[in-house]
Structure 1
């Protein structure tokens, strides 16, 4: 049990889902003490040997705690083992980590009608709150219902895990472009323009848009100006003049943009200097279709890459993929139907659509891969399309991005309104984390596709249901 001498420090009780979301989360609480209930260790032990996607995260967490607590005596584990010297950066932990044995029903407050794991963890937090008052005891969990139960049971402080949360509301998420009111040039006080080959570059004062970042698109309401921030200094930034009409005339594999959002996305997708393209937006905005069209254009027509690898997060894939017949590609087909649907749209006017699809899949070397088998690989000179990435955590996305070797382009797409994970929300999704972390990286581009182009039925449903 943690020994508290300073009432300014807190005691954080961690739920299992926090350690599955980030295995080293117990290092993120600075000078405060961390308590892991025995029930949490039991749940981690059960999960580590399961076939679930989070089994690896459970094993990483268990190993990390074992490294810290292996030399500690039972008394020290209960009292708290110092975390000093662990972690990285300025916010290294200085508190302690302790394991709290479960309370029996005599010791626990008789509040709950059942002895479920969540209730046992809440009882630990309630016991610590009573024992260590006036120190704050905080239960940290991603389970919304558990937070409600804990509050109802009398726990004063309950929180979500927000260490990896970069924004407070999804409305503040970077869109990848900035639209000026009125005409762009009426707001520019001074400009220095030059020509580099066929490109025109404008150097304007940084005060025009202080929060601008590299590869951010600039538009105006008159639809006359469209530019891209190429580079910046503390005083100025350079804008590549794209031209609104020229941007709208971009095309790939027979696909033309239907709105300016798709035009900006297509520009980034076809730019060989962009290694990471992040596409967000509602269902039906064209994310998958544009990604596949651009990938085919660059692989088949321009010979810039050797192959296309398509992957996505597949719930319960570890348990169910093995029961499906065929090769890995055939097993993945049910989860990647969106890709084959888009491929069919791209060739619907061909004389033999099925024959064209089979030919192109072989010609472009399109491979369907399970996300579970991406670990340990080094993907060279390929285009990787990661679909439905809103259901991934930051650590899972990092695993995939670090697989990309020399000459590989990664396209991440997702709709933050369609998160299926029990423990992720739009602000804690790995896709949101990726957008905010990479917005200042010169090799990445983010585009929020606003507007459903699938059909008027889909558009009405997106806005009214």
Structure 2
């Protein structure tokens, strides 16, 4: 295969600082303007800042082996890495003061000096790839690690299994029902711990039963009905919400992920379950004293800035980002702002900035991370590794609404957690299918 020259854009390094080791035996060129842009991000306290600092350390290590200006061998079996300057080769219609155009001018210079090789501009910026192609440069995107090939193939936490009619009768008669591995293989499906199943009769498709799978050697479990024990007035309206409550009230499952479109109730259900287990009176089936506090947070990704840029205390800085969670809490509390304020003051409800969660060990808490689709895999790992004894983490989000430009539907932290933990008994996942906010909200999510 012919050797190529890859000119790498800033957006690539800010999503994966280790990308320089992933281009096989091809040469990598880094425009000086990219180094300048990387420097502007190195002090950020999020995954982008982490990647910027990691990339700078990589270059500093290479620098000890030779000259970045002359080119340095990356490692055995790899190409060289070299820093290149801008040029005056841009078409007149492109403004040379625009940073992206300066980077493209560097790529044009590489293409001119290495005319026997193909030069490819690598960027995660769609428009930059379009411009590169328009001025005669090869252009490719860069994808970080995908946990699934397609977003539609993401683990849903639900499966239909066709069984003999008598098995469903046994299930409703409270007899043990075990689903052998051969049954799953015959139907070409794979079952995971804490996956919810709809058992469908082979002789009557309308005869069904809902249950939770454990293993091929243990009986399936009934989905628990908590309606008589719920004190805050939030009840499941569909089977997915019932599935979610079954996981959220299970002390043996410390990690729960909930994915669903806007209005599906994922955040409301998570908050309601947290309040039932922290702020309610003891009941027969719910241990309301298991957790000492509710910790809520969500990424501040939409502005791409650290919360330190906002005025006030950390609580005041986080409030604009946590308004959706606060709205849900006030809805559950009957719009009682005084009660919510009291819970915040006593520490029973705690607002935490993801930016500063590193280094903490959070015990005896019910943690809710909303909009988790805007997190990277590294950030999700940081959150989950903060979990101490007797703590549950709930990740909620919609992988179709991603504001983080450095991740996508198949590589975001929420999808990463769902796929990596699906085979583990300590986790459970539910994908919400139906909107429950209002008829117009549900219709809008379908047709707009």
Distance 1:29 1:273 in 2: 43
Distance 1:38 1:294 in 2: 52
Matched residue of 1:454: which SS?
coil
1:338 is matched with 324
Distance 1:113 1:24 in 2: 31
1:217 is matched with 196
1:241 is matched with 221
Distance 2:273 2:86 in 1: 59
2:296 pairs with 310, 326, 333, which one? 310
Does the 8 Å CA contact 1:218/1:227 hold for their aligned counterparts? yes
Q: Deviations over 1:189-224 (max 9, x none)?
A: x99x899xx883413223145332222211156473
Flag the 1:223–1:286 CA change in 2: closer, same or farther, 3 A. farther
1:65 aligned onto 2:59: yes
1:87 is matched with none
Compute the displacement of 1:443 (Å): 1.5
Flag the 1:404–1:111 CA change in 2: closer, same or farther, 3 A. farther
Compute the displacement of 1:13 (Å): 2.4
Matched residue of 1:225: which SS?
strand
Flag the 1:389–1:104 CA change in 2: closer, same or farther, 3 A. same
Distance 2:44 2:152 in 1: 37
Aligned length: 428
Flag the 1:13–1:26 CA change in 2: closer, same or farther, 3 A. same
1:43 pairs with 33, 37, 46, which one? 37
Compute the displacement of 1:279 (Å): 0.9
Matched residue of 2:319: which SS?
helix
Unaligned runs of 5+ in 1: 1-6, 85-93
Unaligned runs of 5+ in 2: 201-205, 281-286
Does the 8 Å CA contact 2:234/2:272 hold for their aligned counterparts? yes
Flag the 1:417–1:52 CA change in 2: closer, same or farther, 3 A. same
Matched residue of 2:132: which SS?
helix
1:413 aligned onto 2:396: yes
Compute the displacement of 1:159 (Å): 2.5
RMSD: 3.1
Distance 2:28 2:388 in 1: 38
Compute the displacement of 1:9 (Å): 4.3
Moved more, 294-303 or 270-279: 294-303
Compute the displacement of 1:43 (Å): 0.8
Distance 2:175 2:2 in 1: 59
Flag the 1:50–1:363 CA change in 2: closer, same or farther, 3 A. closer
Matched residue of 1:113: which SS?
coil
Distance 1:425 1:152 in 2: 25
Does the 8 Å CA contact 1:164/1:433 hold for their aligned counterparts? no
Matched residue of 1:18: which SS?
helix
Does the 8 Å CA contact 1:19/1:25 hold for their aligned counterparts? yes
Compute the displacement of 1:445 (Å): 1.4
Flag the 1:73–1:360 CA change in 2: closer, same or farther, 3 A. closer
Flag the 1:194–1:456 CA change in 2: closer, same or farther, 3 A. closer
Flag the 1:8–1:239 CA change in 2: closer, same or farther, 3 A. farther
Does the 8 Å CA contact 2:29/2:81 hold for their aligned counterparts? yes
Flag the 1:368–1:199 CA change in 2: closer, same or farther, 3 A. farther
Does the 8 Å CA contact 1:199/1:241 hold for their aligned counterparts? no
Flag the 1:30–1:194 CA change in 2: closer, same or farther, 3 A. farther
2:203 is matched with none
1:3 is matched with none
Does the 8 Å CA contact 1:118/1:146 hold for their aligned counterparts? yes
Compute the displacement of 1:239 (Å): 4.9
Compute the displacement of 1:147 (Å): 1.4
Give the TM-score taking structure 1 as reference length: 0.82
Alignment of 1:316-395 (within 5 A): 316=303, 318=305, 321-325=308-312, 327-348=313-334, 353-361=336-344, 365-395=348-378
